[in-house]
Chain A
Amino acid sequence: MKETITLKIKDLFEDIGNQATFVGSFFRNIFRNGFEWNELIRQCYLIGLKSLNIVLITGFVLGFVLTLQSLPTLQQFGAEGYVPNMVSISIFREIGPVITSLICAGKIASGIGAELGSMKVTEQIDAMDVSGANPIQYLVVTRILACTFMVPLLVLFADAVSLLGGYVGTSTAGGMTAALYFSKSFSSLVFSDFFPAFIKSIFFGFTIGFVGCYKGFKANKGTESVGIAANSAVVAASVWIIILDAVAVQLTSIFVYNQ
């Protein structure tokens, strides 16, 4: 019992060490000669496109549901006019980045984990390495950067569509005109609602790419390890997103809202 615990702790620290090394080699390889521009663009395209549908649908539903949920309560106080303000602020500040990133963790991190995991298991990554090519540069740098760029973009799309969902929500309850709804939504948004959220979605994107690549590269021999890589990538990326979000909220309230 005691031995298995010490072994587990040892594994944990080893894993942390390996992740640190992996991050290090990512940053070193960004600035190496022979940056894979074509592959980066291809990955951005793939990663963005693969998740666009589900992100848009989720964004719309979020706005819609949030509106329907808050309408009755606000009506009791005669404050239904504030629905657009409330919905847009809560989505832009918090719900948009976090939910979109969690969805991307499920879609993108698992995809990268499975893809690189199966390349590892079938020795394709070893083959690249042994041929004198650079698998970190070709596979890892491109994917992590693509996630870092594309996830914030997807978050913006989700935010935008959620406003539309919110409008559809109010109009089912016989609410206001589109012009009024959107002008209220935008008038309540200020830079500090938008900017910290954007910064944190960059970190979420990096995390998704990093965790996917790391878990994929860690796959050892055996087909089942591909499934494990995909699965553990989703779990780890989601947990990291939630932890990072908690930190981000603290930092934002200290430095941006000065509370």
Chain B
Amino acid sequence: MENVIEIENLKKSFNGSEVLKGISLTVKKGENLVVLGKSGQGKSVTIQCVVGMIEPDEGSIKVLNKEINELDEQELKDIRGRIGFLFQHAALYDSMTVRENLAFPLKRVLKVKDEAEIEQRSVEALEAVGLADAIDKMPSDLSGGQRKRMGLARTLIVKPEIILYDEPTTGLDTITSKEISRLILSIREKYKASSIIITHDMSCARITADRIVIMNDGKCIAEGTYEQLENSSDTFINSFFKI
């Protein structure tokens, strides 16, 4: 099957300390890849490299068959329009209503001008995340779980081919976490997007993952399905799966 993301030997240092020491991973079309790892292992840095927010020191990143670090400004914008990025704290535009938050990428990235179309697509995106009644609220009126949903709606509205989730369930209670995890799964069905899901929430990993990569000390140290890794004989890998 076709790969939508191919990362090879990715290296990155900050102020002399090496955070990524040669990451290689691929995401196939339509696949949900979960990246597991402790805090501060460079998981966020990895997906920030994928969208060109951080420039790597070494290595290659191919996204949708384009080498990210060789793109000019306009090409990078175009490819970013095809990638959705869900920030850990949702990063909602808090001076705008939910409606304006949703219209923002539609108007500026997809250049949709027709108000009726904007309205229809906003409602559709909100319905997909189960937040249809919040369209006239301000982000500050939303709960933690609702903010995540809202961030997801703003990502989905441009119909991205790839979605990058940075800790989608962190900071939520267990029940809301499970709801978000199931939502991620249903979005894959509906939008046919491929995803990287960064998490250290094992229930999220179990629900969403087609395949799991474990990152530690700047490297990918294991790869497999949830069942394969759960039954691994390696004690470190195993420690993720113990309750």
Contacts and interface: CB of A to CB of B under 8 A. Distances in A.
Contacts of B53: 126, 129-130
Nearest to A33: B111
B152 interface: no
A59 B203 CA distance: 64
A124 B96 CA distance: 11
Interface range, A side:
10 to 19
A26 to B, nearest CB: 15
Contacts of A124: 91-94
Interface residues of B, number: 24
Contact of B80 (A34, A115, A123, A130): A130
Contacts of B104: 128, 131, 133
Interface string A118-144: 010011101111111110001000000
B94 A122 contact: yes
A119 B93 CA distance: 8
Interface string B63-103: 00000000000000110110111010101111100000000
Chain B residues touching A, majority SS: loop
Contacts of A132: 77-78, 80-81, 105, 108-109, 158
Nearest to A36: B108
A198 to B, nearest CB: 32
Contacts of B23: none
A131 B94 contact: no
A131 B158 contact: yes
Contacts of A122: 89, 91, 94
A124 B89 CA distance: 10
B51 interface: yes
A127 B91 contact: yes
A138 to B, nearest CB: 7
Interface in B181-220: none
Interface string B102-134: 001100110100000000000000000000000
Nearest to B109: A132
Contacts of A34: 108, 111
B105 A123 contact: no
B91 A126 contact: yes
A92 to B, nearest CB: 37
A127 B85 contact: yes
A128 B105 CA distance: 8
B108 A133 contact: yes
Contacts of B81: 131-132
B118 to A, nearest CB: 14
A126 B53 CA distance: 8
Given A122-B94, A124-B93, A133 B87 contact: no
A134 B74 CA distance: 11
Given A122-B94, A124-B94, A133 B89 contact: no
Contact of A123 (B51, B83, B87, B154): B87
A131 B105 contact: yes
Given A131-B105, A131-B109, A133-B105, A126 B78 contact: no
Interface string A25-43: 0000000001000000000
14 contacts: A122-B91, A123-B87, A126-B53, A128-B104, A130-B85, A131-B84, A131-B105, A131-B108, A131-B109, A131-B154, A131-B158, A132-B78, A132-B80, A138-B108
Which are the 10 A-B pairs with shortest beta-carbon distances? A132-B81, A127-B91, A132-B80, A123-B91, A133-B108, A132-B109, A130-B85, A131-B105, A132-B77, A123-B87
